[in-house]
A = this chain, B = another copy of it.
Amino acid sequence: MSELPWRPGSIRRPKPVRTAKIPLTRAEIVRAGLRIVQREGIDAVSMRRVAAEFETGPSSLYAHVTNKDELLQLMFDEVCGMVTPQEPDPARWKDQVKELARTAHQALVDHNDLARAALATIPTGPNALRISNAMMGIMLSGGVPAKMAAWAMDRIFLYITADAYEYSIWRTEVVDAGGQKESYIAQLGEDLVAYFAQLPPEKYPYIQKNAEAMVGGGIEARFEFGLEMLVDGLDKYTSES
């Protein structure tokens, strides 16, 4: 039997033996990782960097976590735990789908580029399952057949994760440029418009002519637009209508 990714226990269950310092438990390590990803991005989350948070070396972490990949999965699930789904209300099912999607998206965006770790995973952690279960419940209550609901949920969460990651890339570039968020984004947008507008019209007529449309609109508005495309496309599968 192939190994399932979720293995809740730790390898060794060490008694809290450390005298001073921070205790160095699995939960504490995950929290440290989340602090780092928030402040410095996922590339900064190295075993050494996390261990440094406890003033120790990287090998100390391996008593609580099998490898870096597991640490990232645990971090992702911890973030999933920050999302609190609502009770299904059949009358508002489409709004509830969007609402849950927005909340999950926001939780990811709040943690910088952690979404990249989520993309590389089939989420099977308890908190991720709680969200999946809630989304499933909302769709089922809205009359979407089980198979369609399962697939749609999969696609929507893929979309959420991908957008959150793309979002973080924009933000990273802004941070690299040293803050001044609004003005820098505006500048980058203007540059892109100029770039598209300067393209040879005989080669790229549609892009060249619609340069502003290509770039325009905030990142949040684009997320919302795609979410609406997905949810609207789901409508035709409901049994009621």
Q: Determine whether the beta carbon of B229 is less than 8 Å from that of A234.
A: yes
Q: Does A217 contact B (CB under 8 A)?
A: yes
**Stretch of A10-18, A100-108, A160-168 on the interface side:** A160-168
**Stretch of A32-40, A45-53, A72-80, A183-191 on the interface side:** A183-191
**In which size bucket is the chain A interface?**
35 or more
Minimum CB–CB distance for A4 against chain B, Å: 5
Give this chain's copy count. 2
Minimum CB–CB distance for A205 against chain B, Å: 7
Q: Determine whether the beta carbon of B133 is less than 8 Å from that of A216.
A: no
Q: Give the docked Cα–Cα distance between A191 and B233 (Å).
A: 31
8 more contacts with CB within 8 A, not counting A159-B226, A161-B162, A228-B233, are: A120-B169, A132-B207, A146-B210, A147-B213, A150-B214, A158-B159, A229-B234, A231-B233
Which 5 pairs between the two chains have the least Cβ-Cβ distance? A229-B233, A162-B162, A155-B226, A232-B233, A136-B206
